[in-house]
Structure 1
Amino acid sequence: MTVYEPIVGRYTTIEVEGEPQRVYVEESGDGTPVLCLHTAGADARQYRHLQTDPEVLDRFRVVAFDLPWHGKSLPPDAWWEREYLLTAEAYVETVMAVVRRLELERPIVVGCSMAGSLVLELARLHGAELGGVVGFSGASTVQGRFHDWPLAPDVNSNQVVPAWTYGLMAPQSPVAARKEVWWMYSQGGPGIYRGDTYFYSKGLDLSGREHEIDTDLCPVHLYTGEYDYACSAEETEATLARIPGAKGGRMPGIGHFPVSENYPLCKQYLWPALVELAEARAARRHPAGAE
């Protein structure tokens, strides 16, 4: 047994909307870059199983980071003077700033929940800079998750938010994994989950614009678990039907947090998607017959 896991964590500074943001980044493996985006109100720990999977690390460089205000990434200066609401513009700018800061060449982007929706916007706006996207629990529009109650002084959001999200997971997912998701959600800063769901339910609506995503340029895979009621499998399937060339669909036996609530089952969908996207990315870089 080795002393350390293969994950290495460091800090770097990016600029978002004219402000410096010190963000925490973890990476492991070597090969095709895969950039992982965590769910609303959580952090990059959700990808620890992917980042320690020997089969994955033998072929992929897996990078995950904590958004500003999340995990080990602190808020910007004078954060106490503002309300945290994540906008689509700031979210896209943050992800692309990390891509460029780390010099990730056409990475495959994996996202879940709010990030599962964001990957569609990334594919639409920055498809030429990406090697493809894989989204879990995302759709072109998701309604109903933004509420003010986490800010109420008589609500213990560190208890209520994880309990509210706990019900989004499949009952047959391993208890230890579900409790780990609960634990991560108990540690978010005040109002951060609410501010993230602003993006998820208010800040992004690609309805009627799904056709703007060029899957020849940036392939799209989109999956949602059958137990997910925040973003239903039907909503994801409807989105897929409106994106020419997109792949994916319903995942039986799993809920809203596939990568962290049941990694072995999630891998049955994620691994083939990563391999397919990596091969397509390599083919575009080195087309047949090219010198």
Structure 2
Amino acid sequence: MGTFNKLRSRIAEALGDRELPRLTPDLTMDIAFYVGDQVIALNFAEGGAAISGESDDPQVTVRATADAWEQLLMTPPPATFHSFTALQLANPLFEIAGSPLALAKARPALERVIELVVTSPEMKAEHAQRDLRQIRGQYAVVDIDDVPHEIYYEEAGEGVPVLFLHTAGADSRQFLPQLADTELAKNYRLIAVDLPFHGRSMPPLTWDGAPYKLTASLYLKWCTAILEQVVREKAIVAGGSMGAAMSLVLAAERPEHVLGIVAIEPPFRSKGRRNPYQHNVNVHGSLHNSAYVRGIMSPLSPAGERRRSSWIYSQGAPGVYPGDLSFYSDEFDGAVTAPRIDPSRAPVALLSGDYDYSATPADGARLAELIPGCLHLVMDGLGHFPMCEHPNFFRSYLVKGLEFVRQAAR
């Protein structure tokens, strides 16, 4: 079967997906996929989707050569050929056309359709023993600049403290698999927080309702206060993405509070994550943002875990995800932060997934060059949210990172 017919067959099969109707309520749009000069016209209308005849005026087009599409159809596909948002943001072989508004409205549909077109076996990994009942959830009133903040956090286990910091726009549920890990809990005091405005941590009562914006200065204050008033002892800080960037800032600026850091998907600079429709009255933010992050997960991760990981992003408060990117995408610069880290005071482990185009293995390597003696591990087959998109496969990398820091901090 040729590339065009293979793609058409997989798109047709995708239209029977049970999840697609949930992601496309009231979507009315024509989308055209071009394989060279051949076109597959996809029509969404009245809660359904069908392949139709050639569209005269598609609102969105996805165009590439047969050779480029053939890479997407590989099992598994190479990185940047695995999702619609990867094609749009990180793959120069694909031309995506359409107004920004049309692309934003179509993103949940396109992300799911391409996810179904891509065929990848689930990466197998030994299942860790987990027990959610060992997790204790509670609140702490944390003083930050003389303003009380009601911080929700969860804790499990005993031993060396590990503070988990969630990604931009998310919350501590990303680290439930680690907090539930019964073996990890034997050696580590595992703590995961919802930052203010995230998850179960409400905004402070002094907030006047103005647009939320997370700056490096504010984020550093939050984390310093959490370490001092919640953790109450030096800890290994294990942060993902935005949390990885802040873990590097903490190692540079607050080494007296950390035993070391494990930076999960650390960026060097991540300037491409902003999107004007992450918070816009014309687009369903919950659908858009959960689809936007779905595109930086690995196709080799279990479908159920990926769906849960994106579910967290469907529940963020309006404006919080783009507000977090003020720090992650606008301010953080690894070229400035990494050279300021003294690894003798704060040992560093960097964990980079090869399907992540937001914080790539090349980013991790550039950071590693600036931090003498650090550990950098490339996690083959993992994406931007390894702790929750494939916790079993991620586990061995996390253990290596924690043990490296633990030994170096002695």
Task: Give the TM-score normalised by structure 2.
Answer: 0.66
The partner residue of 1:166 within 291, 294, 307 is 294
Question: Which position in structure 2 is the counterpart of 1:67?
Answer: 195
Question: Which position in structure 2 is the counterpart of 1:105?
Answer: 233
Question: Which position in structure 2 is the counterpart of 1:53?
Answer: 181
Question: Which position in structure 1 is the counterpart of 2:396?
Answer: 268
Matched, 1:21 2:138: no
**Structure 1 residue 76 displacement after superposition:** 1.6
Question: Which position in structure 2 is the counterpart of 1:41?
Answer: 169
**Structure 1 residue 121 displacement after superposition:** 0.5
Whole-angstrom distance in 1 between the partners of 2:397 and 2:278: 33
CA contact (8 A) 1:228 1:256 kept: yes
Question: Which position in structure 1 is the counterpart of 2:125?
Answer: none
Which 5+ residue runs of structure 1 have no aligned equivalent?
Answer: 284-291
CA contact (8 A) 1:140 1:210 kept: no
Matched, 1:126 2:263: no
**Structure 1 residue 55 displacement after superposition:** 0.9
CA contact (8 A) 2:248 2:337 kept: no
Matched, 1:177 2:305: yes
Deviations 1:221-270 (A, max 9, x none): 11111000111211121111111122113211000001011111111111
Whole-angstrom distance in 2 between the partners of 1:247 and 1:114: 19
CA contact (8 A) 1:225 1:250 kept: yes
Whole-angstrom distance in 2 between the partners of 1:193 and 1:209: 23
Question: Which position in structure 2 is the counterpart of 1:138?
Answer: 266
**Structure 1 residue 102 displacement after superposition:** 2.2
CA contact (8 A) 1:120 1:140 kept: no
CA pair 240-82 structure 1, distance change in 2 beyond 3 A: same
SS at match of 1:20: strand
The partner residue of 1:192 within 297, 308, 320 is 320
**Structure 1 residue 278 displacement after superposition:** 2.3
CA contact (8 A) 2:377 2:397 kept: no
CA contact (8 A) 1:237 1:249 kept: no
**Structure 1 residue 275 displacement after superposition:** 2.1
Whole-angstrom distance in 2 between the partners of 1:104 and 1:276: 22
Question: Which position in structure 2 is the counterpart of 1:288?
Answer: none
Whole-angstrom distance in 2 between the partners of 1:147 and 1:21: 29
Question: Which position in structure 2 is the counterpart of 1:245?
Answer: 373
Amino acid corresponding to residue 249 of structure 1 in structure 2: L
Which 5+ residue runs of structure 2 have no aligned equivalent?
Answer: 1-129
Whole-angstrom distance in 1 between the partners of 2:136 and 2:331: 33
Q: Give the share of equivalent positions with the same residue, in percent.
A: 35
Matched, 1:211 2:317: no
Amino acid corresponding to residue 280 of structure 2 in structure 1: A
The partner residue of 1:84 within 197, 203, 212 is 212
CA RMSD of aligned residues (A): 1.7
Whole-angstrom distance in 1 between the partners of 2:310 and 2:298: 13
Aligned length: 281
CA contact (8 A) 1:213 1:243 kept: yes
**Structure 1 residue 151 displacement after superposition:** 2.2
Q: How does 1:2-17 map to 2 (within 5 A)?
A: 5-17=133-145
Whole-angstrom distance in 1 between the partners of 2:247 and 2:336: 17
Whole-angstrom distance in 2 between the partners of 1:208 and 1:28: 35
Which one has more relative contact order, counting CA pairs under 8 Å at least 6 apart?
A: 1
Matched, 1:95 2:245: no
CA contact (8 A) 1:240 1:249 kept: no
Whole-angstrom distance in 1 between the partners of 2:265 and 2:306: 16
**Structure 1 residue 145 displacement after superposition:** 1.2
Amino acid corresponding to residue 74 of structure 1 in structure 2: M
Question: Which position in structure 1 is the counterpart of 2:357?
Answer: 229
CA contact (8 A) 2:196 2:203 kept: yes
CA pair 240-149 structure 1, distance change in 2 beyond 3 A: same
Whole-angstrom distance in 2 between the partners of 1:18 and 1:3: 38
CA contact (8 A) 2:267 2:358 kept: no
Amino acid corresponding to residue 137 of structure 1 in structure 2: E
Matched, 1:258 2:258: no
**Structure 1 residue 209 displacement after superposition:** 4.5
SS at match of 2:351: strand
CA pair 78-19 structure 1, distance change in 2 beyond 3 A: closer
Rg larger in 1 or in 2? 2
**Structure 1 residue 83 displacement after superposition:** 1.2
Whole-angstrom distance in 2 between the partners of 1:193 and 1:4: 27
Q: Which runs of 4+ in 1 moved over 6 A?
A: none
